[in-house]
């Protein structure tokens, strides 16, 4: 390995270290978090108040069922009724509808929808479980998951989360809690209607209603979702903005030790929280996201196509064919007072809706996706959802390497039914073969330079002074040219490997295919393979020992020792030598909490690199190098030596330097 290669590795190391410092929150961000925590606590208190009001509303509704005609004049009952219907506007008459939950199961997920607010209360994926085999919830139960806010014609505010809707399944009214199961080829339409009553003295208007329509299909993570304003133009006032609010409290899904409490349990959240973020897509732009793994809030004034609540391996996406007018606020926040070990963070979106007040019938065409972060699954919906996967989309060439090389080959190898650890090893081997032409010159240079040590030592003795650096460089270049190597030829290929290295660094931790898949002693390739839990925490390193990371560290240390032996002139570069030996230790700290799959890849990549260097070293023997130099000397006798452009520039720089020195004298 030459100096250029060393420089490339140092740059990679500096990128990793710099990124770690970059993601560390500033004092201003910490202050902002505290402010958001205070806001969140107020919201939670408000949610508790809503829950209490719902409970009270249910109690009064049960009482109303027994009221007689004379009871309707009772002051207490009237006050109860008024309290219950606040926030419903012209839809207050729906208070008598039953409050029920409807469950729909297909072969992929189970969805529960409440008639109160017609909101999705819970989504459980059938094919996946949490790390400790508990049901995996993508949407967690909450009294404020969904809400449509607007004003009626009397300027009364309407909060649809408070309205008990009438429920219909495929056109038939449903009055009690029901569970539906979809078989092959089945579909199901759930309709939730809130009818209008223009005044207390008039009957309900049966042909004017607000309707939420959910359409479910077998073998699909998608749910069609429409909001239909049927004959409401005389009852809805849109002078205030109409907003759709979507909230969700995210739960932890991945590996951690439930027996650990307090600081240890929170520390185990870091890896999963790092891959958790809120993504959104502007109509005329690529998807973007709030800051990874940190609390953040943003306002967006341009139209949006969709919003996604993404965790490490699963997501919930709300999309709109009409497009959302804007986002008054999208946010990720963490309730620091929540001591539940399962709690991860909260996400919220306040999305503007464009409503046509002149239309007799107006429909918001929307939809949900509740499912895994699988590249093919997300890509096939053709909405740019695959961009929520951390594949290095903005990094030089990385997205192309991931999309057109790593993912297709990985999916192809899956078809053979091999263990995923074996697939990682084979994929590493195939990539090594593909990039071997890029690394050949670098390894060849290192092997040849080892045989040129006597001549290089002689050149160093011949030009010991600092002002003789140009002559020394020219002599070194001439020596290397005689041996048939060009040190500059190995620099660019090494730089071209950076997108592949970075693509692998992003690909393995984000691959749901590796989730809960074992290999050797590792139970989950998507997480670290702890062979020993420490009773204390080491900064940056963690509170566990990863065996695959240790193996990677040992291999990298051996690789460093071997390559350093082939480097020349290290005595004059003690700082560089220290950096090379220090880097394996830094990688040990950085990768101890990374996925086992990533450590397996780097371990076998280093192993193959050493094997490749041994092979080239066996081929490039000293006899062959000396014979090549002798042949070059024989061919150059009596012929003018052709100088490369690089050598010509060096000589020109030397000439200019000598002239400047003469002028100074």
Instruction: Give the per-residue SS3 of 9-74.
Output: HHHHHHHHHHHHHHCCCCHHHHHHHHHHHHHHHHHHHHHHHHHHHHHHHHHHHHHHCCCCCHHHHC
Kindly report the length of the chain. 665
Cα–Cα separations (whole angstroms), residue 221 to 113, 128, 416: 16, 13, 26
**Structure confidence by residue, pLDDT tens digits, 490-518:** 555 566 677 777 788 888 888 888 888 88
Task: Identify which of 609, 628, 619, 626 has the alpha carbon closest to the alpha carbon of residue 444.
Answer: 619
pLDDT reported for residue 59 = 46
The better pLDDT of the pair 211, 568 is held by 211
Q: Residue 207 — pLDDT band, cuts 50, 70, 90?
A: confident
Torsion angle of the four alpha carbons 335, 340, 345, 346, in this order, in degrees rounded to the nearest 10: -70
Contact between 587 and 555 (Cβ < 8 Å): no
In the predicted model, is pLDDT for residue 372 greater than 90? yes
Positive or negative, the CA dihedral 281, 282, 285, 290 is negative
In the predicted model, is pLDDT for residue 316 greater than 90? yes
Cα–Cα separations (whole angstroms), residue 390 to 271, 337, 373, 502, 506: 14, 30, 10, 11, 6
Arithmetic mean of pLDDT, 291-309:
90
**Structure confidence by residue, pLDDT tens digits, 91-129:** 888 888 999 999 999 999 999 999 999 999 999 999 998
Q: Residue 263 — pLDDT band, cuts 50, 70, 90?
A: very low
Distance of CA 531 to the CA centre of its chain: 27
The token duo for 341 is 């070990």
pLDDT reported for residue 617 = 72
- Give the separation between CA 427 and CA 407, rounded to whole angstroms: 10
Distance of CA 527 to the CA centre of its chain: 15
The ranges assigned to domains in the chain are: 27-259+268-389, 399-634
Arithmetic mean of pLDDT, 226-244:
83
Residue 624 DSSP SS3: helix
Burial 455-469 (b: 16+ CB within 10 A, else e): bbeebbeebeeeeee
DSSP count for the chain of H helices, then E strands: 18, 24
CATH 2.60.40 fits 27-259+268-389, yes or no: no
**Structure confidence by residue, pLDDT tens digits, 40-84:** 544 444 445 445 444 544 444 444 444 333 343 444 455 555 666
| Beta pairing class for 222-230 and 542-546 | unpaired
Residues contacting residue 51 through CB under 8 Å, at least 6 positions apart: 143
- Give the separation between CA 418 and CA 298, rounded to whole angstroms: 44
In the predicted model, is pLDDT for residue 165 greater than 90? yes
Distance of CA 184 to the CA centre of its chain: 33
Q: Residue 260 — pLDDT band, cuts 50, 70, 90?
A: very low
In the predicted model, is pLDDT for residue 484 greater than 50? yes
Distance of CA 223 to the CA centre of its chain: 23
Arithmetic mean of pLDDT, 233-253:
83
| Beta pairing class for 101-105 and 178-181 | parallel
Contact between 340 and 369 (Cβ < 8 Å): no
Q: Which single residue is written with the structure tokens 């996706």?
A: 369
Task: Identify which of 543, 538, 539 has the alpha carbon closest to the alpha carbon of residue 528.
Answer: 543
**Structure confidence by residue, pLDDT tens digits, 1-16:** 455 555 655 566 566 5
In the predicted model, is pLDDT for residue 318 greater than 90? yes
The better pLDDT of the pair 28, 479 is held by 479
Q: How many Cα neighbours within 13 Å face the side chain of 264?
A: 13
Contact between 209 and 185 (Cβ < 8 Å): no
The better pLDDT of the pair 299, 488 is held by 299
Q: Residue 470 — pLDDT band, cuts 50, 70, 90?
A: low
In the predicted model, is pLDDT for residue 570 greater than 80? no
Residues contacting residue 387 through CB under 8 Å, at least 6 positions apart: 279, 281, 286, 287, 393
Q: Which single residue is written with the structure tokens 């359409």?
A: 215
Average pLDDT taken over every residue of the chain:
77
**Structure confidence by residue, pLDDT tens digits, 398-447:** 777 888 888 888 889 988 989 999 999 999 898 888 877 777 666 666 66
- Give the separation between CA 327 and CA 147, rounded to whole angstroms: 15
Contact between 387 and 282 (Cβ < 8 Å): no
In the predicted model, is pLDDT for residue 267 greater than 60? no
The token duo for 513 is 């295919």
Contact between 378 and 313 (Cβ < 8 Å): no
Could you tell me what percent of the chain has a pLDDT over 70? Answer: 65
The better pLDDT of the pair 81, 367 is held by 367
């Amino acid at each position: 390995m030459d100096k250029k290669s060393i420089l490339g590795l140092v740059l990679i190391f500096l990128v990793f270290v710099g990124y770690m410092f970059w993601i560390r929150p500033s004092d201003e961000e910490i202050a902002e978090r505290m402010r958001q925590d205070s806001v969140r606590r107020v919201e939670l208190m408000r949610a508790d108040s809503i829950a209490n009001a719902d409970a009270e509303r249910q109690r009064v509704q049960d009482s109303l069922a027994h009221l007689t005609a004379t009871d309707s004049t009772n002051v207490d009952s009237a006050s109860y009724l008024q309290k219950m219907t606040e926030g419903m506007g012209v839809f207050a008459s729906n208070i008598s509808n039953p409050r029920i939950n409807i469950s729909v199961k297909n072969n992929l997920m189970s969805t529960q929808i409440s008639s109160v607010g017609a909101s999705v209360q819970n989504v459980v994926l059938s094919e996946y479980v949490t790390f400790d085999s508990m049901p995996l919830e993508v949407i967690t139960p909450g009294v404020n998951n969904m809400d449509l806010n607007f004003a009626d014609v009397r300027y009364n505010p309407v909060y649809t989360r408070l309205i008990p809707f009438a429920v219909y399944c495929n056109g038939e009214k449903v009055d009690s809690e029901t569970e539906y199961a979809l078989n092959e080829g089945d579909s199901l339409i759930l309709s939730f209607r809130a009818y209008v009553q223009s005044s207390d003295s008039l009957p309900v208007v049966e042909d004017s209603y607000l309707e939420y329509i959910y359409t479910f299909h077998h073998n699909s993570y998608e749910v069609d979702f429409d909001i239909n304003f049927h004959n409401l133009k005389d009852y809805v006032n849109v002078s205030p903005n109409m907003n759709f609010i979507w909230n969700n409290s995210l739960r932890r899904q991945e590996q951690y030790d439930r027996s650990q409490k307090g600081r240890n349990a929170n520390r185990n959240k870091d890896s999963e929280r790092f891959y958790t973020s809120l993504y959104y897509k502007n109509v005329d732009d690529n998807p973007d996201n709030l800051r990874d793994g940190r609390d953040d809030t943003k306002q967006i004034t341009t139209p949006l196509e969709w919003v996604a609540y993404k965790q490490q391996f699963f997501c919930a996406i709300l999309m709109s064919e009409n497009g959302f007018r804007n986002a008054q606020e999208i946010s990720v926040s963490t309730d620091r007072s929540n001591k539940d070990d399962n709690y991860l963070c909260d996400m919220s979106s306040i999305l503007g809706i464009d409503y046509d007040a002149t239309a007799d019938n107006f429909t918001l065409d929307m939809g949900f996706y509740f499912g895994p972060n699988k590249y093919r699954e997300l890509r096939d919906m053709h909405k740019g959802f695959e961009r929520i996967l951390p594949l290095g989309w903005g990094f030089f060439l990385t997205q192309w390497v991931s999309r057109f090389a790593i993912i297709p080959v990985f999916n192809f190898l899956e078809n053979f039914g091999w263990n995923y650890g074996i697939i990682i090893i084979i994929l590493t081997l195939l990539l090594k073969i593909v990039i071997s032409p890029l690394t050949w010159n670098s390894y060849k240079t290192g092997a040849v330079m080892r045989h040129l040590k006597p001549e290089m030592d002689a050149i160093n003795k011949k030009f010991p002074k600092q002002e003789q650096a140009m002559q020394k460089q020219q002599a070194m270049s001439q020596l290397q040219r005689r041996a048939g190597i060009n040190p500059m030829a190995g620099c660019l290929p090494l730089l071209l490997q950076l997108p592949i290295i970075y693509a692998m660094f992003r690909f393995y931790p984000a691959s749901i295919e590796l989730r809960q898949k074992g290999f050797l002693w590792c139970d989950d390739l998507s997480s670290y393979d702890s062979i020993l839990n420490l009773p204390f925490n080491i900064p940056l390193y963690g509170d566990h020992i990863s065996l695959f990371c240790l193996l990677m560290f040992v291999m990298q240390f051996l690789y460093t020792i071997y390559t350093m032996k082939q480097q020349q002139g290290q005595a004059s570069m003690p700082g560089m030598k220290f950096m090379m030996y220090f880097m394996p230790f830094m990688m040990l700290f950085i990768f101890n909490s990374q996925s086992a799959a990533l450590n397996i890849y780097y371990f076998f990549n280093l192993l193959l690199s050493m094997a490749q260097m041994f092979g080239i070293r066996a081929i490039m023997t000293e006899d062959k190098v000396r014979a090549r130099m002798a042949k070059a000397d024989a061919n150059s006798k009596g012929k003018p030596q052709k100088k490369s452009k690089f050598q010509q520039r060096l000589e020109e720089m030397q000439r200019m330097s000598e002239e400047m020195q003469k002028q100074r004298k």
